[in-house]
C-alpha cells in the first residue's frame, strides 16, 4: 500500500502517522481486505483471499519492540507477570507432559520465552532448553535470576545452526510476530528432520470471540498483529512445508486473582463482583485450570 492510499485508512490522531506501517496478507501475499472491526484507533482486517485476520496499518517494528519494556510485565498486558509464576509453571508442566508423550526430551527452543518460566520447567524435566525474546527485562531475568540460555532478539539474529532443535515451541507468541510466515520458515530450518513444532495461540473464529467482538481482550492491536483461526493456522504451517498433525483446544492454569482481572477487562461489573467474592473467601492465590474456549495448540512436524 502506498503512503497516499494509507492516508484514507489511517487510525485516528492518537496514533501518529509516522509510526505506522502498511502490510499485505502474510499468508497469500495479496492486498484485498475487508474491515472486521476498529479498536484503539487501529483497523483489524480480514483478507478476502484466504481469511487471515490482521492489523493493517500497524505500529512500526521499532515501536512494537519498545513496548516490551519493564512496564509491559507490570502495568501493561500483564498486571504482574512474576506474581503468576506458579500458574505459568503449572501450565507449562502440563504442556510438556503432553509433548513428552510424542517426543522424548532433547533440545528445545522457546520462541518468546518472556521470563523463562517454560525453560525453567523444561530444564527440570531433562530438556536442553534455549529461549529467545525481544524483551530485555525478560531476558535479563531469565539469564541472571534463573541461569537459563536465553538470547535477546529474533530468530534471524540468533543464528542457530540448521537442524539444531528437536522441538520448537511458541507459547502465546505467534500473534505477536511481525512476519509469521518468515519466522515459520526459520523455525523449519532450525528443526531437525522429523522435528516437532508446538504452537499455542488463539482461534479468533470461536463463538465466544464473535460474541465479544471488539471487547475480546485478545484484540490488542498494538502488540497482537495476527488473529488466526484453526484453518488459517493450518494453511500457514502447510505453506512452509510442515505436516500438521493436530490442532486441539488448550487450557491454562492461573490464579483466581488473574482470572478476576481478565473478567474485569471484558466487563468491569463482572470483574468487581468476582473480585469481591474471591477476596471474601480468601481464594486469590488459588490455582485454577481454565479452558478459555479460544486457546488452541497446533502440533506440526518437519517432513
Binding-site ranges for Zn ion (CB under 5 A): 25, 27-28, 47, 49-50, 52
Nearer to Zn ion, 49 or 106 (CB): 49
Nearer to Zn ion, 31 or 301 (CB): 31
Q: Shortest Cβ distance from residue 50 to Zn ion (Å)?
A: 3
- Pair 191, 241: CB distance under 8 Å: no
Gap between the Cα atoms of 194 and 215, Å rounded: 40
Q: Shortest Cβ distance from residue 180 to Zn ion (Å)?
A: 12
Nearer to Zn ion, 56 or 261 (CB): 56
Q: Shortest Cβ distance from residue 265 to Zn ion (Å)?
A: 30
Nearer to Zn ion, 5 or 270 (CB): 5
Q: Shortest Cβ distance from residue 1 to Zn ion (Å)?
A: 14
3-state secondary structure 36-64: EEEECCEEEEEECCCCCEEECCEECHHHH
**Inter-axis angle of helices 117-124 and 85-100, to 10 degrees?**
50
Beta bridge partners of 301: 196, 243
- Pair 175, 219: CB distance under 8 Å: no
Q: Shortest Cβ distance from residue 19 to Zn ion (Å)?
A: 25
For residue 95, give the H/E element and its range: helix 85-100
Strands 165-171, 107-111: parallel, antiparallel or unpaired by DSSP?
A: parallel
Task: Tell me the three cell numbers of residue 59.
Answer: 505500529
Nearer to Zn ion, 52 or 297 (CB): 52
Amino acid at each position: 500500500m502506498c503512503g497516499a492510499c494509507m492516508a484514507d485508512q489511517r487510525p485516528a490522531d492518537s496514533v501518529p502517522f509516522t509510526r505506522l506501517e502498511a502490510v499485505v496478507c502474510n499468508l497469500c501475499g495479496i492486498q484485498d481486505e475487508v474491515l472486521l472491526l476498529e479498536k484503539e484507533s487501529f483497523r483489524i482486517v480480514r483478507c478476502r483471499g484466504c481469511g487471515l485476520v490482521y492489523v493493517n496499518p500497524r505500529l512500526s517494528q521499532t515501536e512494537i519492540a519498545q513496548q516490551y519494556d519493564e512496564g509491559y510485565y507490570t502495568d501493561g498486558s500483564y498486571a504482574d507477570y512474576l506474581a503468576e509464576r506458579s500458574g505459568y509453571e503449572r501450565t507449562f508442566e502440563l504442556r510438556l507432559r503432553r509433548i513428552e508423550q510424542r517426543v522424548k526430551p532433547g533440545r528445545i527452543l522457546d520462541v518468546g520465552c518472556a521470563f523463562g518460566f517454560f525453560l525453567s520447567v523444561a530444564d527440570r524435566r531433562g530438556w536442553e532448553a534455549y529461549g529467545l525474546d525481544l524483551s530485555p527485562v525478560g531476558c535479563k531475568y531469565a539469564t541472571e535470576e534463573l541461569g537459563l540460555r536465553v538470547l535477546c532478539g529474533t530468530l534471524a539474529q540468533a543464528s542457530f545452526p540448521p537442524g539444531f532443535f528437536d522441538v520448537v515451541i511458541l507459547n502465546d507468541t505467534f500473534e505477536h510476530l511481525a512476519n509469521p510466515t518468515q519466522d515459520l520458515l526459520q523455525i523449519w530450518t532450525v528443526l531437525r528432520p522429523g522435528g516437532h513444532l508446538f504452537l499455542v495461540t488463539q482461534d479468533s473464529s470461536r463463538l465466544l470471540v464473535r460474541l465479544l467482538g471488539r471487547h475480546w481482550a485478545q484484540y490488542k492491536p498494538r502488540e497482537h498483529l495476527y488473529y488466526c483461526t484453526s484453518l488459517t493456522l493450518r494453511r500457514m504451517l502447510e505453506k512452509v512445508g510442515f505436516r500438521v498433525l493436530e490442532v486441539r483446544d488448550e487450557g491454562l492454569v492461573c490464579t483466581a486473582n488473574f482470572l478476576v482481572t481478565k473478567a474485569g477487562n471484558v466487563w468491569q461489573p463482572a470483574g468487581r463482583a468476582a473480585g469481591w467474592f474471591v477476596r471474601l473467601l480468601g481464594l486469590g492465590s488459588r490455582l485454577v485450570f481454565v479452558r478459555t474456549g479460544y486457546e488452541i495448540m497446533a502440533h506440526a512436524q518437519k517432513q
